[in-house]
Structure 1
């Protein structure tokens, strides 16, 4: 096994176990989390490209929504994506990527029972370690960073197609490199050196929206509210109702949190997104920021989300809730204390 700077946060024993499981696999299913982002899809497709080249049948899927968000449809390897109904019931290895818990697999959680081995690859500190093998690095910027360390340990070269998928997760989970650690830019440079167009990848994933997104924003942001006394740093929140979202992809709705979180008067931000298919169900995105000693740097939103049935990172987390908007706000305020 080769240890690289990108794999420093990984347990060598876990890495060896993951490499061994994938090396001997004769069939692999890769499950991404529901409402997929570029980190989970990029991780899944990077693995699929590598496994396919080794002659291993591989299926990549996510439970919902029905279609891959438009911004990710140019990622290499999308041909290995299949609808949930086409995911086999029995495989040698099932790999869950960027999934902090079984609940993030959605309806595909039932495929775990048919897998001879389950491998979880993730970077969420709140991960429940539900796999037989758990390759978790909470210090990693993205799950694609963890995948990079795994491929290095496996001795698999990273070409432009694989690098494209890995960079997609890196650029999105770091917020275009706003949230980095030592080694982040070194990894980005390594991936860019394969010849991928980093600017075009970032533009497609982060800076392109349909016109309807503007209309949705005008309605949602007009209803945003500020609670300045919460936790001593303030909470800003907004609701995205199903009628506001209309026909927009889930990724357009998810992007609202990145605008709401810029509010100067609040150290904590929340966006409640109504399900268009399940009455009363909302997915909630939480963000916090470090505004100095004793302020929002003490607010661990992963802890808050975990207490509400979700999980995530210290400064970015989420959960699912049911009820009216009033119930949701009351529940969050109670959790925040």
Structure 2
């Protein structure tokens, strides 16, 4: 496959690896850069920091980073391992091994995507079905609830003790990507119980990540929800609800406040599909999609240049928001 245009390189074919193979790749690295996706959530940051902690303990030089925004969301500032984070402009130009975590495509690395071509080798660790397999190697388990769950299995085979610091990072990804355990699979609660048994405070972690916002979030939410539109005949009659967050709405707020809006919009009973169009710059939109049971929004997002999970996905769009909404409605049918 090829990289995204801004980091064009000769075509390569990613090699799928088993857990033991991944361990050998990691242990053989002389230096590692771990990259999380832009607008990071707790799964990508929790994964990046957990892996970084393990590599540091094994004496392997490591740095962790993400391209944007320019600082870690406040809700994740209490995660262990944040001392391993470096600003995007301080990321090594090249490394023996570059690892991406919870990042479905090279484009999701933002300005740091160029580091892919400069690394000796790259390893993609993810759980998104739509992952484009853009690295030298990949470990992609789309049956996993979160990328932190993939790492938990990797650590077990690696004989890594999952102590409270690692459990905190892993639990952060698990609780957020399962929507506070609303979307679970067999074994999800077993992993959660195991992590909680290390002594971490699961309630406090969830509250910081999911239920804490500055006061300014409330007036933003009021303005945005007043823009919501219900389209009952969209998605073959199953209904679409969409809302728009403009830069003026979210001024002074963090990315986590913006990202939280979709989880409120998606509660609309009359709509199977929900969408929030988030303005990142004039004419540039990041779109979050959710569905309840019958629409595969990952497939919808893929047709629009993005990807994700069956019931939670996203993509980017440019131009007038009305045009972007029309394109989504046409794709949904």
Partner of 2:26 in structure 1?
22
* Match of residue 292, structure 2, among 289, 293, 312: 289
Is the Cα–Cα contact under 8 Å of residues 16 and 138 in structure 2 kept in the other structure? Answer: no
Query: 2: CA distance between counterparts of 1:326 and 1:113?
Result: 37
Partner of 1:251 in structure 2?
256
* Match of residue 231, structure 2, among 211, 227, 240: 227
Instruction: Confirm whether residue 116 of structure 1 aligns to residue 112 of structure 2.
Output: no
Partner of 2:3 in structure 1?
none
Per-residue deviation, 1:13: 4.6
Deviations 1:191-240 (A, max 9, x none): 01111110110010001000000010000001100000112210000000
Partner of 2:204 in structure 1?
200
* Match of residue 328, structure 2, among 308, 332, 336: 332
Instruction: Confirm whether residue 323 of structure 1 aligns to residue 319 of structure 2.
Output: yes
Instruction: Confirm whether residue 272 of structure 1 aligns to residue 287 of structure 2.
Output: no
Instruction: Confirm whether residue 63 of structure 1 aligns to residue 67 of structure 2.
Output: yes
Query: 2: CA distance between counterparts of 1:189 and 1:218?
Result: 37
* DSSP-derived class of the 2:34 partner: strand
* DSSP-derived class of the 2:310 partner: coil
Query: 2: CA distance between counterparts of 1:12 and 1:195?
Result: 35
4+ residue runs over 4 A deviation: none
Partner of 1:8 in structure 2?
none
Deviations 1:117-157 (A, max 9, x none): 11100000000111111101111100000011111111111
Query: 2: CA distance between counterparts of 1:318 and 1:32?
Result: 16
Query: 2: CA distance between counterparts of 1:86 and 1:246?
Result: 27
Instruction: Confirm whether residue 242 of structure 1 aligns to residue 238 of structure 2.
Output: no
Is the Cα–Cα contact under 8 Å of residues 273 and 289 in structure 2 kept in the other structure? Answer: yes
The correspondence of residues 142-161 of structure 1 with structure 2, limited to 5 A, is 142-161=146-165
Deviations 1:49-85 (A, max 9, x none): 1111111111111111111110000000011111111
Query: 1: CA distance between counterparts of 2:125 and 2:153?
Result: 11
Instruction: Confirm whether residue 312 of structure 1 aligns to residue 308 of structure 2.
Output: yes
Partner of 2:98 in structure 1?
94
Query: 1: CA distance between counterparts of 2:58 and 2:183?
Result: 35
Query: 1: CA distance between counterparts of 2:215 and 2:60?
Result: 41
Instruction: Confirm whether residue 139 of structure 1 aligns to residue 131 of structure 2.
Output: no
Deviations 1:155-202 (A, max 9, x none): 111110011000000000000000000000000001011111101100
Is the Cα–Cα contact under 8 Å of residues 16 and 137 in structure 2 kept in the other structure? Answer: no
TM-score scaled by length of structure 1? 0.93
* DSSP-derived class of the 1:211 partner: coil
Number of residue equivalences: 318
Per-residue deviation, 1:48: 0.7
Give ranges in structure 1 of 5+ residues lacking alignment.
1-10, 291-296
Instruction: Confirm whether residue 103 of structure 1 aligns to residue 107 of structure 2.
Output: yes
TM-score scaled by length of structure 2? 0.94
Query: 1: CA distance between counterparts of 2:258 and 2:36?
Result: 19
Partner of 1:293 in structure 2?
none
Per-residue deviation, 1:12: 9.6
Partner of 1:179 in structure 2?
183
Is the Cα–Cα contact under 8 Å of residues 124 and 135 in structure 2 kept in the other structure? Answer: yes
Give ranges in structure 2 of 5+ residues lacking alignment.
1-14
